[in-house]
Structure 1
Amino acid sequence: MPDITALPGFYRIAHADPGRRAVIDGDGTTTSYGELLALVNRVSHGLRARGLTRGDVVAGVLPNGLDQVVMLMATGQIGLYYVPVNWHLTDAEIAYILADCDARVVVAGPDRPVAGALTAAGLAAGQPATDPGDRTAGSVMWYTSGTTGFPKGVQRRLSGAEPEAAVPAVTWFLGEVCDLRPGDGIHLVTSPMYHSAPCAHTMFALHLGHTLVIAPGFDPAGVLELVDRHRVTNSMMVPTMFHRMLRLPEEVRRSYDLSSLRQVMHTGAACPPAVKKAVMDWWGPVLYEYYGSTEAAIAFAVKPHEWLERPGTVGRPVPGFEARILGPEGEELPPGEPGMVYVKSGLGRFTYRKDPAKTAAGMRGEWYAPGDIGFLDKDGYLFLCDRRTDLIVSGGVNIYPAEVEAALLEHPAVADVAVIGVPDEEWGHRVAALVQPAPGARPTPQELLDHLGPRLARFKHPRIIEFRDELPRTPTGKLSRSRLREDYLTDRAPGPAAGPV
């Protein structure tokens, strides 16, 4: 078997070791590196046959699976922008993104038809499996979630270099940040690839020579079974997944062998320290956390042992990044004082496609604000407080919903929770907690307030506690507090009040 550890990425690995396992799809179908490269090359030729040239845009309205992987790697070697589109969106929402990105070709699958779309198989039909000529690196252009308006594409300049040129730097970076190395790893895909982190880790895994195991969907016991069966070594997850797996009965949790896990990266939402500690007590010190955004990429990272020494941190700036905490007048704040987080990247600046005003609005010179409030400790580790848009100001005091949510999630009767601010004539805003009880549990508001007593200052306690059957989350596990707040204010049907603070 060839030594692939020094080869620069997927395309070279596939030539050197075509029999190597590349993808185990959700239905169990296995595709080798050689077979995957042949499909990738055919689709690349098919796109060029339709007149696409460097800088053009291809959109994919595809679920997780082989076709999504093929489109990522095909556009990535012929200088195209690829836009993965959330296939759960409505026709109108999809049409907006396709028009905004100026997609020359749209690829969709049978489960989500899109007018005028092609299939990956149709693009590949009749095309040669040889490498295309004049290969240059493409780029993925992810669209932001749009929770505060219409989504926008995050676009970066194409390098013009061959696809292999950036791989050594990426490999070094992943080793520094996540201890990931080229070789025989097994990467489990648990989240939709139309989001930036799972999509990027899919490509990273192939460039490292790893095998992709694609989960058919997130099921807590099903994910554990895949880890056990395929001896998964690394994965990317979100905190909601940890919470759901921890809720499995003890006998179910113990029935799976998870000793193969080496790195489980998590991002996308704040992870309550108690949840993260419980997972590491179960899996061992394998949780690697990073913080960033679609725009800023990975800006901060923390390894397991670092986090255990500083519970709650999201890490220090990664190589190539700088960080500052700024006050409302743009003044730099000292360690320990919360303010807006700003980062500066060595990756070069991004732009929002067709929206220079929005691009400029998020920048302060070369510094970009992801929109979060946090503080740095004396050693430069970042601790997040909350999103600026989710901050609750009650009686002139700042209250961070994420902190209250983390404390409530420690109660065994709470399966999920969202904390929002609702208008109040006297206080400005009141803290309201929308709680999804654990299966079979029936907590009372007073029981939850008693639980918060030793954990949070009284002014942070919810004045309203309501119980909901389910709380809406995005496929990556993020709560849209803005949507929950709008729904709450529209319904105006508060449940039992927790009483005055």
Structure 2
Amino acid sequence: MIIGETIKQLTTKHPDKIAISCDRKQVTYKELHTSIHFMKQQIVTVLRSPMKKKVAFLLENDHQFLSLFLAISQLGAIAIPLDPKWSKDDLRYILTDCSPDLFIGEPIIPNIVSLSLQEFTEQKAKSLPVQDFSADHLFYIGYTSGTTGKPKGYLRTHSSWIHSFSVSDQVFNIENEDIVFAPGPLVHSHFLYAALHALHIGATVYITKKFHANAVHQTLTTYPITILYLVPTMFSALNDVYSKTGSHISHLIKVISAGAKWQTSLKQKAKVLTPHAEVFEFYGASELSLVSVLDEKGYLKNPESVGRAVPGVEVSIRRLDGMRANIGEIGKLFVKSKLVFSGYHNDQKATNEMFHGSFATVGDLAFLDDQGYITLVGREKNMIISGGLNIYPEEVEKVLSTLSQIDEVTVIGLEDTYWGEKLVAVIKWQEGNRLTNQQLIQFCKQKLASYKCPQQFIELESFPYTTSHKIARKEVIKLVERKIEQARM
């Protein structure tokens, strides 16, 4: 089976069912199938034989994005979605790196066949050739946001996501009667996956061109949406709307979250904002797909964990010497499954660093308990070495996030002549709330080893985010360094 293969069958079964709803514009399964067929004809007109060819595109977050993506996939070509929020330099780098056979969007670099969406749709359509390819073919190259270095393109086969769909069916029990809302950017694999899985099983998927908390909250309270995909920062924004309107979300039965660990306070707020919904936190990565899930039963048993491995996924925690770590011992987390990616485009070195035999790792450090629950400690690349001691900023962030006065926090290491790296906590306060540095120091000393206590606290009015709504650490460091430099002047 390939991505999008079920659309034709679903069109026959329920042609008038809503497939996609985007900002009140609705597309039925029949209309989606027609749109995909038209897009396929246009691609064949331009590329003649699209098999294994790369098609990059820079489109709005709407139904045409999904139609084009599915058309590319069904032709045996490779879809490369690009993010309008990326810098021009990143876009040029990515297009140079992937060298697409066709780019749909306004021209960015020369020597690439580029057509605007209007020019693309105005091509004289040709009949479709017979396509013969397997589920092991690539269908998607997704690029990381590049906040910790140059963007890398991760390669995905049809089978890796088809297997992932099967796991999602088992773990989340999403059915074709469900109405799924994926309000984030489709260029981010979490939300693209949510939308494609919903269409794969014949459900209705809601998307939006841009995430605006007020508009998303209104959609959730107006329409009978049952499944919501998000990241924790999105939920915080929705809760802020609730605090002003008092309008909770009653239709939801499942909230599926990824990207970061939920704090206890957020879980408590979820019970008020979405009283009938179970929150599923899943741990994974664009390269690994689903790894583990923490449902509400698991949360009661081990709230600090990211749950247990999902069916078909084998997790191994290994020490630096490569040997399997003992229960409770911290090591690097490795994953073996049919869900993992196929490597990085044009980057064999990074691919080799990811794969160790049949196992893959993104460098996360974790430990297992005797019931199989996985607790993340931090990410190897985020580790700060201060005074010769290893510090994982995620641990410090978790402690500081328990303070009700703090809205968001990230911990960074700044170059220091004495310590090597100085531990700095960067804080965004809740509106109307603030603690003194002395209060913060005293709190940290109660909860953390002395060497893990931040040596400086810096306030920011807002944080920069990646396209996946995570705090962009590299950009935070630049902002803080600039702020410190200005203070010295």
- TM-score norm. by structure 1 comes to 0.87
2:414 is the counterpart of 1:418: no
The aligned amino acid for 1:353 is H
Deviations 1:6-34 (A, max 9, x none): x97323112321111112112x1111111
C-alpha separation in 1, matches of 2:22 and 2:293: 30
CA distance in 2, matches of 1:150, 1:429: 23
1:482 has 2:474 as partner:
yes
1:376 to 1:129, Cα distance in 2 relative to 1, 3 A: farther
Cα distance in 1 for residues equivalent to 2:391 and 2:310: 29
Residue 351 of structure 1: SS of its match in structure 2?
Answer: coil
Query: Equivalents in 1 of 2:50, 2:93: separation in Å?
Result: 23
| Equivalent-residue separation in structure 1 for 2:89 and 2:214 (angstroms) | 35
Which of 89, 93, 97 is equivalent to 1:96? 93
Letter of the aligned partner of 1:47 in structure 2?
I
Number of the residue aligned with 1:147: 147
Instruction: State yes or no: 1:117 paired with 2:114.
Output: yes
Normalised by the size of structure 2, how large is the TM-score?
Answer: 0.89
**Does 2:238 match 1:245?**
yes
**Residue 191 (structure 1) aligned to one of 180, 184, 190:** 184
Q: Which residue identity lines up with residue 250 of structure 2 in the other structure?
A: S
How far residue 129 of structure 1 moved from its aligned partner, in angstroms, is 11
8 Å CA contact 1:77–1:135 kept in 2: the answer is no
Aligned AA for 1:179? N
1:352 alignment partner, SS class? coil
Q: CA deviation at 1:158?
A: 5.9
**In the alignment, is the contact (CA less than 8 A) between 1:154 and 1:353 conserved in 2?**
yes
- Paired letter, 1:151: P
CA distance in 2 between counterparts of 1:205 and 1:369 reads: 28
Matched ranges for 1:1-40 at <5 A: 9-26=6-23, 28-40=24-36
Q: Does 1:264 align with 2:261?
A: no
Are 2:54 and 2:101, in contact at CA under 8 Å, matched by a contact in 1? yes
Q: Distance in 2 between matches of 1:166 and 1:241?
A: 25
2:265 to 263, 267, 274: 274
2: CA distance, partners of 1:259 / 1:391:
41
Distance 1:347 1:170, change over 3 A: closer
CA deviation profile, 1:331-358 (whole Å, cap 9, x unmatched) = 2211111111111122466121122122
Partner of 2:453: 461
Task: Name the SS of the counterpart of 1:149 in structure 2.
Answer: coil
- AA of the residue aligned to 2:147: T
RMSD, aligned α-carbons: 2.8
Q: What SS class does the counterpart of residue 142 from structure 2 fall into?
A: coil
For the structure 1 residues 248 and 229, does the alpha-carbon distance in structure 2 shift closer, same or farther, using more than 3 Å as the test?
A: closer
CA distance in 1, matches of 2:5, 2:261: 34
Q: Does residue 1:378 correspond to 2:370, yes or no?
A: yes
Would you say the 8 A contact 2:55–2:78 is kept in 1?
Answer: yes
1:82 to 70, 79, 82: 79
Q: Tell me, what secondary structure is at the counterpart of 1:485?
A: helix
Equivalent of residue 443 in structure 1, options 430, 435, 438: 435
1-structure distance, mates of 2:98, 2:409: 35
Partner of 1:409: 401
Q: For residue 178 of structure 1, what is the aligned residue in structure 2?
A: 172
Q: Does the aligned pair in 1 maintain the 2:50–2:76 contact within 8 Å?
A: yes
Aligned mates of 1:400, 1:15 — CA distance in 2: 53
**Where does residue 212 of structure 1 map in the other structure?**
205
Report the equivalent of 2:283: 291
Asked if 1 retains the 8 angstrom alpha-carbon contact of 2:281 and 2:295, the reply is yes
Task: Please list the CA deviations of residues 126-184 of structure 1 after superposition, one character each: whole Å capped at 9, or x if unmatched.
Answer: 7679987436566121112233332221114566xxxxx985x5553212222212x22
- In structure 1, distance between residues paired with 2:487 and 2:393: 19
Preserved CA contact (<8 Å) 2:242 2:273: no
Is 1:41–1:128's contact at 8 Å kept on the other side of the alignment? no
Q: State how far apart, in whole Å, the 2-side matches of 1:314 and 1:158 are.
A: 27
Q: Deviations over 1:265-290 (max 9, x none)?
A: 11122332332343245424521121
Q: 1:452 offset after TM fit, Å?
A: 4.0
Structure 2 counterpart of 1:218, which letter? F
Structure 1 pair 443/113, CA: closer, same or farther in 2 (3 Å)?
farther
Question: 2: CA distance between counterparts of 1:220 and 1:356?
Answer: 40
Please give the alpha-carbon distance, in whole angstroms, between the structure 2 residues aligned to 1:251 and 1:436.
Answer: 20
- Mapped partners of 2:327, 2:474: distance in 1: 30
How many aligned residue pairs are there? 477
Give the drift of 1:485.
Answer: 2.8
Identity %: 27
Give the residue type in structure 1 aligned to 2:40: S
Q: Do 2:230 and 2:258's aligned partners in 1 also have CA atoms closer than 8 Å?
A: yes
User: How many Å separate the matches in 1 of 2:481 and 2:370?
Assistant: 41
1:56 to partner: Cα distance: 0.6
Counterpart residue number, 1:49:
45
- State whether residues 335 and 378 of structure 1, in contact with CA within 8 Å, keep that contact through their aligned partners in structure 2: yes
- Note the residue ranges of structure 1 that are not aligned, 5 or more in a row: 1-6, 160-164, 497-501
Deviation at residue 465 of structure 1 after TM alignment = 0.6
Quote the residue 1:235 is aligned against. Answer: 228
Post-superposition CA distance 1:184-221 (Å, at most 9, x none): 21111211111111111110111121222223422333
Residues 322 and 186 of structure 1, relative CA distance in 2, 3 Å threshold: same
Aligned amino acid, residue 37 of structure 1: H
Cα pair 2:316 2:334 within 8 Å, conserved: yes
Q: Flag the 1:155–1:96 CA change in 2: closer, same or farther, 3 A.
A: same
Correspondences of 1:54-69 after superposition (within 5 Å): 54-69=51-66
Displacement of 1:318: 1.8
Structure 2 residue ranges without an equivalent (≥5): none
Which of 343, 349, 354 is the matching residue for 2:335?
343
Verify the 8 A CA contact 2:164 2:289 in the aligned structure 1.
no
Residue type of the alignment partner of 1:25: C
Equivalent position amino acid for 1:67 in 2? Q
Which deviates more from structure 2 when the two are superposed, residues 231-240 or residues 95-104?
95-104
1:105 maps to a residue whose letter is L
Equivalent residue letter for 2:378: D
Post-superposition offset of 1:388? 1.0
How far apart are the structure 1 equivalents of 2:330 and 2:267? 23
Distance 1:414 1:397 in 2: 27
Q: Give secondary structure in 1 for the equivalent of 2:281.
A: strand
Q: Which residue number corresponds to residue 310 of structure 2?
A: 318
Match of 1:499 in 2: none
**Are residues 157 and 191 of structure 1, via their aligned partners in 2, closer, same or farther at CA, if it must alter by over 3 Å?**
closer
**Distance verdict in 2 for CA 1:468–1:221, change over 3 Å:** same
Q: Is residue 50–residue 77 contact of structure 2 (8 Å, CA) maintained in 1?
A: yes
- What does the per-residue CA deviation read over 1:397-440, in whole Å, with 9 as the maximum and x for residues that have no partner? 43321222223223232222111122344444332111112223
